[in-house]
Chain A
Amino acid sequence: GAVVSQHPSRVICKSGTSVKIECRSLDFQATTMFWYRQFPKQSLMLMATSNEGSKATYEQGVEKDKFLINHASLTLSTLTVTSAHPEDSSFYICSASLNEQFFGPGTRLTVL
């Protein structure tokens, strides 16, 4: 099946710093990628839909200036959490769309 990677798998940072998470489709091209967030003991919630070469579409309540998404190529989308705070600590998962969505392994972000 199609493979999606994420990097880094885990990151710990100080409050106020910015963190970039990469999502790559390794063996297929994806015009659309999705970014989800999962808080402990909760399900996945969609943050934004990322389209190659255009601006991302954010879900209601997600700050686009805080969660910057860049989909520069058909195999790479990045999510940058700017000025991260402890409440941003979460599990971030991306998916790339072919005929169905294929998920990356996730990135655990801990903001101290």
Chain B
Amino acid sequence: KQEVTQIPAALSVPEGENLVLNCSFTDSAIYNLQWFRQDPGKGLTSLLLIQSSQREQTSGRLNASLDKSSGRSTLYIAASQPGDSATYLCAVSHGSGNTGKLIFGQGTTLQVKP
């Protein structure tokens, strides 16, 4: 059974710092991995999607890496801003379409202080 773990559960940093969020999964036979952002009381915003054949994806100040063999992914946020404060969720899937259900980690709640 796939289990997804995120460390740390919470993180508080001053504005401008670079930071790394960690995600690990127990079954390396994944189809893809996604990082999401969730603001309090809101839905999910997809940040980055990494296919199993890829090693990293970048979007602006965000960079996500994937090491499938070791069951790990990291989300790197450069030059953090107060607007980055949110909960970040990592999720993996084992297929697409009908088999593409996502298994989520517990999330890392980030606070960036001005």
Contact = CB atoms under 8 A, between A and B. Distances in A.
Interface residues of A, number: 26
A44 B43 contact: no
Name the residue in A42, A95, A105 with the highest tally of chain B Cβ atoms < 10 Å from its Cβ: A95
A100 B32 contact: yes
Given A32-B97, A32-B98, A44 B46 contact: no
Interface in A18-43: 31-32, 34, 36, 42-43
A46 B101 contact: yes
B10 to A, nearest CB: 11
B30 to A, nearest CB: 13
A68 to B, nearest CB: 19
A105 B44 CA distance: 7
Contact of B103 (A46, A95, A99): A46
A43 B101 contact: no
B46 A102 contact: yes
Interface of B: 32, 34, 36, 41-44, 46, 49, 89, 91, 93, 96-98, 100-107
Ranked nearest first, the 5 interchain pairs of A and B with the lowest CB-CB distance are A105-B43, A106-B43, A103-B44, A43-B104, A44-B104
